[in-house]
Amino acid sequence: MRIHVVESGDTLWRLARMYDTTVTQIALANQITSENILAVGQSLVIPTPNIDYVVEPGDNLVRITERFGVTVQELIETNNITDPNLIYVGRMLHIPYFYYQVRPGDTVYLIANRYGSSVAKINELNRLPNNAVIYPGQQLKIPTNSKEEIEVNAYTTTFNEQGRNEILALGSFFTYLTPFSYQVREDGSITPLNDQLVLEAARITNTVPLLVITNFQKGFNSDLAAAILRNPDVQDTLINNIIREMEAKGYQGLNFDFEYV
C-alpha cells in the first residue's frame, strides 16, 4: 500500500497506469464515487498489485484465492477474518505471498534481497532445504512483507448504514472503535446513543469497542465536569450507569474525554 498526493492533472486512470493497478481498486480503497472528484493535495491510498487487494462487487473468498493462488485459510489468517462468508466491498485484503519464476543466475539469497524477504522465510514457505539449488523456470512463493502492527483507535460520529459500511471496510485496520459520544448529565445519568449498527460492524471486523463519555453539552462544558468531579455520589451514579451500558452493548473498554476541566 502506498500513499499518493494528488497533483494538478491527476486522474484515477492516470494513477492506475502509473501504479500498475486499476481505477476500480483505487476508487474503492478511497471510497471515491466519481473519478472526476480529485483535489490537488488530496492523499490517496494506492493498493500494491499482488500484495493488496480491495474487495470488489461480486467477490467472495474463493474467487479471490483462486485469483492469487493462495488458500482460503491463509487469506483468513493473514487478514484476521472472523466470518469467511462476510467480506465487504471496499475492504482491503493483504495477500500473504506472490509467485516468482526463477531466472538464470538467481539464488534464494538474491531473490530474498530483491523482494525484502529472507532466505529462511522463502525456504519455509516453499519447503526448501537449506542451501537449496533452484532452477530457471521454477516457481517460488515469495512472502510479502508483514505489516507493522500498531494500536489504532478510530472515532466515528456516523451511526447509520454509511457508518456501518465504513467500519466493515476499514475496521480490520483498527484496534479500537470509539463511537463519539455518550454525554454525562449533572445527575450522573448519560445520554443515549444509537450505536447498534457500528457496534455490529466492530464485532464482525474483530475491532474492540470503547465507550467514550464526555462533558459535552452544546460544546465541552467545564461546569458540567465540575458538577461530576466535586460530588462522589454523582460519580458513583455515573459509574454504575456506564457499567450498565457497557454490559448491555458489549463495550470492552472506557474512554473518559472530559475537556476544559
Q: What is the CATH number of the domain that holds 198?
A: 3.20.20.80
Question: Where is pLDDT greater, at 239 or 86?
Answer: 239
Mean of the per-residue pLDDT values of the chain: 92
The highest-confidence range among 48-52, 141-145, 255-259, by mean pLDDT, is 255-259
Provide the greatest CA pair distance for the chain: 78
Q: Determine the residue type at 12.
A: L
Q: Which of 85, 115, 143 is the last residue of a domain?
A: 143
- In a domain, residue 148? The reply is no
- Please report the pLDDT score of residue 70 as a whole number: 95
- In a domain, residue 191? The reply is yes
Give 72-111 pLDDT, tens digit per residue.
999 998 888 878 887 888 888 999 999 999 999 999 999 9
Residues 159 and 247 occupy one common structural domain: yes
For residue 79, the domain's CATH number is: 3.10.350.10
Residues 65 and 81 occupy one common structural domain: yes
Q: Which of 80, 111, 143 is the last residue of a domain?
A: 143
- In a domain, residue 125? The reply is yes
What percent of the chain has a predicted confidence (pLDDT) above 70?
Answer: 98
- Please report the pLDDT score of residue 183 as a whole number: 96
- Please report the pLDDT score of residue 170 as a whole number: 81
Residues 81 and 111 occupy one common structural domain: no
Expressed as residue numbers, the domain containing 122 is 97-143
- In a domain, residue 246? The reply is yes
- In a domain, residue 79? The reply is yes
Residues 168 and 245 occupy one common structural domain: yes
Write the secondary structure of the chain as one string of H (helix), E (strand) and C (coil). Answer: CEEEECCCCCCHHHHHHHCCCCHHHHHHHCCCCCCCCCCCCCEEEECCCCCEEECCCCCCHHHHHHHHCCCHHHHHHHHCCCCCCCCCCCCEEECCEEEEECCCCCCHHHHHHHCCCCHHHHHHHHCCCCCCCCCCCCEEEEECCCCCCCCCEEEECCCCHHHHHHHHHHHHHCCEEEECCEEECCCCCECCCCCHHHHHHHHHCCCEEEEEEECECCCECHHHHHHHHCCHHHHHHHHHHHHHHHHHHCCCEEEEECCCC
Confidence band of 35 (pLDDT split at 50, 70, 90): low
60 φ/ψ angles, rounded to the nearest 5 degrees: -145, 170
- The residue assigned the cell 452493548 is 249
Q: What is the mean pLDDT of residues 151-157?
A: 93
Q: What is the mean pLDDT of residues 4-32?
A: 93
Residues 251 and 157 occupy one common structural domain: yes
Residues 139 and 160 occupy one common structural domain: no
- Number of structural domains the chain divides into: 3
Q: Is the pLDDT of residue 34 over 80?
A: no
- Please report the pLDDT score of residue 91 as a whole number: 87
Q: Is the pLDDT of residue 237 over 90?
A: yes
- In a domain, residue 90? The reply is yes
